[in-house]
Amino acid sequence: MLKFILKRLGSSFLVLFGASILLFVLVVNSGDPLKDLRESQSENREQLMQARINYMNLDEPWYSRYFIWLRGVAGCLRGACDLGTNRGGQQVNDLLANAASSTLRLVVLATVLAIIIGIAVGIITAIRQYSGLDYAVTLLIFLFFSLPVFWAAVLLKEYMAIGYNNWIADPTLNWTYIIIGALLAGLVVQAAMAGNAKRRLLTFAVVAGFILVIFPTLHALDFWRRPVMGPLVQLAIGLAAAVALTALIAGLKNRKVLYSALVTVAVGMVSYYATYGLLMNNPSWLLLLGLGIIAVLVGILIGRLMGGFSKGTAATASAITAVVMGVFIVMEHMTNYWPALLRAKPRPVATIGSETPGMDAHFWVEFMDKGTQLLLPTVLLTIVSVATYSRYTRSSMLEVSRQDYIRTARAKGLGERQVILKHAFRNSLIPITTIMAFDFAGLIGGAVITERVFGWKGMGELFATGLDQVDPAPVMAFFLVTGTAAVLMNLVADVLYAILDPRIRV
C-alpha cells in the first residue's frame, strides 16, 4: 500500500507540474496587466507602473516568473509558503487563506449533505424501481440537474430569502399553503414507506394530520420568532433517533443494539444538563469540535461494551444517536439566541456575502449569522450534486442486486434489511466513491459561478479577479488548492476501494 501511495503521489506531482506550466503560460499571455495604467491620466502613473512591475516581476521572462512562483510553493514543504503578491502588492498567502476558508466552509457542507441525501434517495428509488415514487424522483432529479445555476440562485434569493425575510417580520398562518404542504408530505411519505393500501392510507393520514396540527400549534406559541425546545423535546428526539436507527440498521428484535442506543440517549440527557452552562457562556469552535469528538467516542464505547455479538452494529447505532443528540443540543442553544439575531439583523437570510460586516455579538448570534449566509449557496450546490449521487447510487444498487451473492443471501433466509444494507449497499459504494472524489474537487472549481451570484469572497472570486487582471499569482493559488484537492481525494478513493472490497488490492 505504501509503495502504491508513493507511486501515485509521484505521478500526480508530474501532472500538477505540467498543468501549472500550461496554466501560467495561458494567464500571462491573456492580456496586458498594465493596460489600465497606460490609459491613466494620473500624475504618478510612472511610479504606479513601476510598482506593479516590481510586484508582478514583469521585467522577467515568463519562465523566470514561473520558477520564482515554483520556488515559493516549494517552501510549503518546510512550512514557509510564499505564493507571491498580486498586482496591488497584497500577499497572496493572506488572500488565499481568507478565500479558502469561505469556499471550504461552503463546499464541505454541501458535499456532506449531497452525499447523505443523494445516497438515501438512490437506495429508496432502487428498492422501489419503476414505481410512481421512482418516476417522480427521477423527474425532479433531472430537473434539478438541468437547472442553470444562476437562474436557480435568483429563485432561491426571491423565495427563500426575500420572501422569508418579509414573512418573519410579521409571521402569518396561510391555511392554503399548510393544507397543500400536508397533502404533499403525506403523499411522499406513503409512497416511500410502501406497503398495502391500508398501510399507505394510514401513513398518509398520520403525516398529513401531524402537519395540520403542529403548524397551528407552533404559530400559537410564536415559535417562529421565539423558538423553545427544552429537555422533553431533546429526550423525544433522542428516543426517536435510537429507535429509528436500530430499526434501520439491525431491526428492533436485536435488543442489544436497541439497549445500547437507549443508554446513549440517557448519557446524552446527562450531558445536556452537564454542558448547558458551558455552551451558554460564549463557547468556541474548538470546544464544539472537542465535545463532538467525545460524543462519538462515548457512543462507540457504549456500543462496543453492550452490543455483544452485534457490537459493531451497536457501536454504529450508538455513535449516530450521539451525533443526532449533539446536533439538536447545539440547535437548542442557537434557538435561544434567535430573538437576539432578529434584533441585530431583522432580515436574517442574506442574499449577498459570507458574513455580516462588523457584527460583534455573542458566539451563537455570530454562528447563526454565518449559517444564514451559508444557507442559499449550500442549498444550490447540494441540489446540483444530489442529482449525481442519487442516479449513480440507484444504478449501482440495481446492478449489485442482480448478482449471484445477493440471490444467495436471500435464499439463505436473510432479512431484506440485511441484504440491502450489509451486502448490496456496501458493494454499490465502490463506484460512488469515485464520484465523491471528483465531486469535492469539482465543487471547489464549480463554485465560481455560485460565489459570484451570492457575492462570496471565496476561491471563485480570487480566480475570476486574477483572470480579469491578468495576474497569475491568484490564479495559480486557486490551481494549487483545487489541483491538490483533486489529487488527494482520488488517492483517498483508491485506498477506500480496498477497505470497501477486500478483494481489491492496490
pLDDT, tens only, 103-155: 888 888 888 888 889 888 888 888 888 877 788 888 888 888 787 888 888 88
Q: Is it the case that residue 283 has pLDDT exceeding 60?
A: yes
- C-alpha distances out from residue 322 to 293, 399, 421, Å: 10, 34, 21
Q: Is it the case that residue 347 has pLDDT exceeding 70?
A: yes
In a domain, 131, yes or no: yes
Helices (H) and strands (E) in the chain, counts: 22, 0
In a domain, 382, yes or no: yes
d(CA 353, CA 106): 12
In a domain, 372, yes or no: yes
Q: Is it the case that residue 257 has pLDDT exceeding 80?
A: yes
Higher pLDDT, 188 or 24: 24
Q: Is it the case that residue 494 has pLDDT exceeding 90?
A: no
Tell me which range, 317-326, 375-384, 485-494, is most confidently predicted by mean pLDDT: 317-326
Q: How many domains does the chain have?
A: 1
Higher pLDDT, 476 or 495: 476
Range of the domain at 146: 95-171+222-468
Which pLDDT score is estimated for 421? 78
Q: Is it the case that residue 256 has pLDDT exceeding 60?
A: yes
Which pLDDT score is estimated for 505? 59
Contact 20, 476 (CB under 8 A): yes
Which pLDDT score is estimated for 102? 80
For 183, list phi and psi in degrees, rounded to 5: -65, -45
Please give the grid coordinates belonging to residue 23: 496554466
Which pLDDT score is estimated for 293? 94
Q: Is it the case that residue 252 has pLDDT exceeding 70?
A: yes
Which pLDDT score is estimated for 194? 67
Please give the grid coordinates belonging to residue 97: 487563506
Full-model pTM: 0.82
Q: What is the mean pLDDT of residues 366-373?
A: 88
DSSP H stretches of helix in 221-254:
231-249
Which of 317-326, 333-342, 496-505 has the lowest average pLDDT? Answer: 496-505
Higher pLDDT, 211 or 111: 211
In a domain, 266, yes or no: yes
As a whole number, the mean pLDDT across the chain is: 86
In a domain, 45, yes or no: no
Angle at CA 109, nearest 5°, toward 107 and 113? 115
In a domain, 501, yes or no: no
Which pLDDT score is estimated for 447? 67
Burial class (CB in 10 A: 0-12, 13-18, 19+), 193: middle
d(CA 246, CA 322): 13
Which pLDDT score is estimated for 481? 85
Which residue, among 455, 485, 232, has the nearest Cα to 351 in the 3D structure? 455
For the chain, percent of residues with pLDDT exceeding 90: 26
Instruction: State the amino acid at position 183 in one-letter form.
Output: L
Provide the b/e sequence for 156-174 (b: ≥16 CB within 10 Å): bbeebbeeebeeeeeeeee
DSSP, residue by residue, 46-72 = HHHHHHHHHHHTTTS-HHHHHHHHHHH
In a domain, 489, yes or no: no
pLDDT digits (tens, 9 = 90+) for 162-173: 999 999 988 988
d(CA 313, CA 304): 9
Q: For 452, how many CA atoms within 13 A lie in the half-sphere containing its CB?
A: 14
Higher pLDDT, 233 or 484: 233
Q: How confident is the model at residue 271 (pLDDT cuts 50, 70, 90)?
A: very high
In a domain, 152, yes or no: yes
Angle at CA 292, nearest 5°, toward 268 and 491? 140
Which pLDDT score is estimated for 504? 64
Which pLDDT score is estimated for 21? 92
pLDDT digits (tens, 9 = 90+) for 49-106: 888 888 888 888 888 999 989 888 888 877 778 888 888 888 888 888 888 888 888 8
Q: For 62, how many CA atoms within 13 A lie in the half-sphere containing its CB?
A: 13
d(CA 227, CA 339): 8
Q: What is the mean pLDDT of residues 299-305?
A: 94
DSSP H stretches of helix in 337-458:
338-344, 363-401, 404-411, 416-418, 425-454
Q: What is the mean pLDDT of residues 473-478?
A: 90
Higher pLDDT, 413 or 192: 413
pLDDT digits (tens, 9 = 90+) for 386-437: 888 888 889 888 888 888 888 888 888 877 777 887 778 877 887 787 777 7
Which residue, among 96, 130, 159, has the nearest Cα to 351 in the 3D structure? 159
